[in-house]
Amino acid sequence: MSNLEHEINRRRTFAIISHPDAGKTTLTEKFLLYGGAINLAGSVKGKATARHAVSDWMEIEKERGISVTSSVLQFEYDNYCINILDTPGHQDFSEDTYRTLMAADSAVMVIDASKGVEAQTRKLFKVCVMRHIPIFTFINKMDRDANDTFDLLDEIEKELGIATCPINWPIGSGKEFKGVYDRKSKSVITYSDTQKGTKEGETQIIPVENREELLNHIGQAAEDKLMEEIELLDGASAEYDLSLIQSGDLTPVFFGSALTNFGVEIFLKHFLEMTTTPLPRKSDIGYIDPVKNDFSAFVFKIQANMNKAHRDRIAFMRICSGRFDASAEVKHVQGNKTMRLSQPQQLMANDRKILDEAYAGDIIGVFDPGIFSIGDTICMPKDKFRYEGIPTFAPEHFARVRQLDTMKRKQFVKGITQIAQEGAIQIFQEFNTGMEEIIVGVVGVLQFDVLKFRLENEYNVEIKLENLPYEYIRWIVNKDLDLNQISGTSDMKKIKDLKGNPLLLFSHEWSIGMTLDRNKGLELAEFGKND
Contact criterion met (CB below 8 Å) for 35 and 75: yes
The residue length of the chain stands at 531
Checking if the pLDDT of 480 tops 90, the result is: no
Same-domain status, 408 and 295: no
Reported pTM: 0.79
Same-domain status, 265 and 298: no
Residue 246 lies in a domain: yes
Predicted pLDDT of residue 359: 96
Mean pLDDT of 30-37: 77
CA distance 31 to 23: 13
* The domain boundary residue, chosen from 379, 401, 425: 379
Same-domain status, 243 and 301: no
Same-domain status, 180 and 39: yes
Q: Which residues contact 148 (CB under 8 A, 6 or more apart)?
A: none
Predicted pLDDT of residue 501: 84
User: How many domains in the chain?
Assistant: 3
Name which of 5-19, 132-146, 382-396, 456-470 the model is least confident about: 382-396
Helix (H) or strand (E) holding 5: helix 3-9
Same-domain status, 247 and 117: yes
Give tens-digit pLDDT for 181-209. Answer: 999 999 999 987 765 556 656 778 999 89
3-state secondary structure 266-303: HHHHHHHHHCCCCCCEEEECEEECCCCCCCEEEEEEEE
* The domain boundary residue, chosen from 242, 274, 306: 274
Residue 79 lies in a domain: no
CA distance 99 to 391: 8
Q: Which residues contact 376 (CB under 8 A, 6 or more apart)?
A: 298, 299, 315, 332, 333, 334, 335
Give tens-digit pLDDT for 60-101. Answer: 555 554 444 446 788 889 999 999 887 665 555 556 677 888
Same-domain status, 222 and 257: yes
Mean pLDDT of 450-474: 92
Same-domain status, 356 and 303: yes
CATH of the domain at 9: 3.40.50.300
Same-domain status, 406 and 311: no
Give tens-digit pLDDT for 135-144. Answer: 999 999 999 9
Segment of 93-102, 117-126, 224-233, 289-298 carrying the highest mean pLDDT: 289-298
Residue 76 lies in a domain: no
Predicted pLDDT of residue 95: 67
Residue 86 lies in a domain: no
Residue 96 lies in a domain: no
Same-domain status, 352 and 400: no
Same-domain status, 173 and 219: yes
Which of residues 521 and 43 earns the better pLDDT score? Answer: 521
Average per-residue pLDDT for the chain: 84
Using DSSP bridges, classify how beta strands 426-430 and 492-497 pair: parallel, antiparallel or unpaired: antiparallel
Checking if the pLDDT of 331 tops 70, the result is: yes
Range of the domain at 396: 391-529
Same-domain status, 331 and 403: no
Residue 87 lies in a domain: no
CATH of the domain at 375: 2.40.30.10
Give residue 384's Cα distance to chain centre. Answer: 29
Residue 80 lies in a domain: no
CATH of the domain at 476: 3.30.70.3280
* The domain boundary residue, chosen from 226, 251, 274: 274
Same-domain status, 259 and 299: no
Residue 459 lies in a domain: yes
Checking if the pLDDT of 51 tops 90, the result is: no
> Which sign, positive or negative, has the C-alpha torsion 334, 335, 336, 338?
negative
